[in-house]
Structure 1
Amino acid sequence: MAGPDAKGDAKGFVSLVSSGPGDPELLTLRAAARLRQAEVVLYDDLSSGPILELANPDAELVPVGKRAGRPSAKQEHVNALLVEYALAGQRVVRLKSGDAGIFGRLEEEIIALNEAGIAFEIVPGVPSAVAAAAAAQIPLTRRLTARRLQFLTGADVTGALPRDINWAAIADPATTTVVFMGQRSFPDLARGLQEHGLSGETPALFAEAVSHPHQRLIRTTIAALAEMLADAPVTQPALILYGPLAQGPDQG
């Protein structure tokens, strides 16, 4: 597919750029280059801050973030903006947090661009789950005891715990499981895990504001974490990682 500098018709070009967990030093070189070339940047709330300082100073910056419990741009509106700016001949960066392909609504934007006949590229990034494990100085897999890695969303479209959970898979004690968007629903999730045979003493890692200056990492167990989150307000984005590796190598 043609790149962002291709000249062939009046349409612009869209780069669907993954910004990683938020630290500008974790951006890929391609992501940084696309920001410098951009004429318009549509950015997520979690991709704001220092990363936007890398954008073309003449670029139009458009916030389109979606955060639970706060006024948010509808996905249909974001899709429409992407198409509108590209049809006007602009080089557009859609800046998405983490890796756009992991619970990032990437597919909806791809469909909208394809339907409008707009050329685009996908620039991958460091997934927040990988950054969280690195910050905690743990691996995500281990021979024999953690041979499988799985990502799970802790919220359906209403914000509640999804009903169609494969409990056998996520209660597997030999698996590393990472829960995205699960702070509110984790007490219910932990209850279900224990009902399906996973010990409440299973190690868990609570990783908040990963790669940001106010990052917080808490090593605990699924039972204790569920108790901690039961009445806790959600003020920062966070991931929950549980399984045999979450305790860290310094503890056995």
Structure 2
Amino acid sequence: MAKVYLVGAGPGDPELITVKGMKTIAKADVLLYDRLVNEELLQYASPGTKFIYCGKMPDQHTLKQEEINDLLCYYARQGKVVTRLKGGDPFIFGRGGEEAAVLYKEGIDFEIVPGITSGAAAPAYAGIPLTHRELSSSVTFVSGVDPNQDTVEYWTDLAKHKGTLCIYMGVKKFPYTCEQLTKYGMDPDLPVAIIHWGTTSEQKTITGTLATIQNKLHLIANPSMIVIGEVVRLREQLQWFEKTQLSAVSSAI
């Protein structure tokens, strides 16, 4: 029976996909997957599954969003089970809401399968709890590439935030972000961590403050998650994954 599954593949570690998400891979006739999906997950698809790569990089899209929407509808109308596999969670900066709206409009049956978003997973693998009873009782997720956010009101509200701030897709514009946050009142000494390819064997983390982190940006690239807040100070005690990776490399040598 035709159906489209909008599935979160998790943050990169293939073991972090949900059981339900894994089942949708196995039952798919057609599987459309993004750049940040760990391709190890594709091996769990059934023989004969049609794979369609939909990867997007800044200013370089394999398929436009409208083309992806059309493909979802096209294969569903052919009676296929379609799994749309997205990095992280489909409803957190994954454009899953847009795709679901198209499916609804076209009268196509769909289901949302949540995934672990990188905003939660990358900090956890870097030893940074997003909330802490003494340090942060709230978390804000924002996109670093939203063209509508560059207003006085936006930066004023963000700079006044007292909890943890997580910025997706924000490395390229981060010098400007630091400038605006401090301009509108955020403490320049607030700790910052930038986590590259979180939860994978390529994970790398740099730390600093709003005032100093720009001196290290040449050491990092996208995809990376930016975390701002007092909880970053806990990384010194709680980092575990990168130590494990380092130990594994040392043992191999």
Q: TM-score, normalised by structure 1?
A: 0.88
SS of aligned partner of 2:71: helix
Distance 1:209 1:184, change over 3 A: same
1:177 pairs with 141, 165, 171, which one?
165
- 1:151 partner amino acid: F
2:150 pairs with 163, 170, 179, which one?
163
**Which consecutive unaligned segments of at least 5 residues does structure 2 have?**
239-253
- Correspondence 1:176-195 to 2 at 5 A: 176-195=164-183
1:248 pairs with 225, 234, 237, which one?
234
* CA distance, structure 2, for counterparts of residue 18 and residue 242 of structure 1: 25
SS of aligned partner of 2:98: helix
- 1:73 partner amino acid: L
Higher helix share: 2
Distance 1:217 1:60, change over 3 A: same
Matching of residue 66 in structure 1 with residue 48 in structure 2: no
Matching of residue 90 in structure 1 with residue 80 in structure 2: yes
* CA distance, structure 2, for counterparts of residue 163 and residue 204 of structure 1: 21
Matching of residue 238 in structure 1 with residue 207 in structure 2: no
SS of aligned partner of 2:231: coil
* CA distance, structure 2, for counterparts of residue 205 and residue 234 of structure 1: 11
In structure 2, the residue matched to 1:4 is none
In structure 2, the residue matched to 1:141 is 131
What is the alpha-carbon root mean square deviation over aligned residues? 2.0
Kept in 2, the 8 Å contact 1:187–1:227? The answer is no
* CA distance, structure 2, for counterparts of residue 65 and residue 225 of structure 1: 29
- Aligned residue pairs, count: 237
SS of aligned partner of 2:133: coil
Distance 1:235 1:133, change over 3 A: closer
Matching of residue 24 in structure 1 with residue 14 in structure 2: yes
Q: Quote the offset at 1:35 in angstroms.
A: 0.3
SS of aligned partner of 1:33: helix
In structure 2, the residue matched to 1:215 is 203
2:26 pairs with 18, 36, 42, which one?
36
- 1:188 partner amino acid: Y
Kept in 2, the 8 Å contact 1:40–1:90? The answer is yes
* CA distance, structure 2, for counterparts of residue 236 and residue 183 of structure 1: 6
* CA distance, structure 2, for counterparts of residue 187 and residue 72 of structure 1: 28
**Which consecutive unaligned segments of at least 5 residues does structure 1 have?**
1-6
* CA distance, structure 1, for counterparts of residue 234 and residue 20 of structure 2: 33
Q: TM-score, normalised by structure 2?
A: 0.87
* CA distance, structure 2, for counterparts of residue 50 and residue 87 of structure 1: 28
Matching of residue 150 in structure 1 with residue 137 in structure 2: no
The percentage of aligned residue pairs carrying the same residue is 35
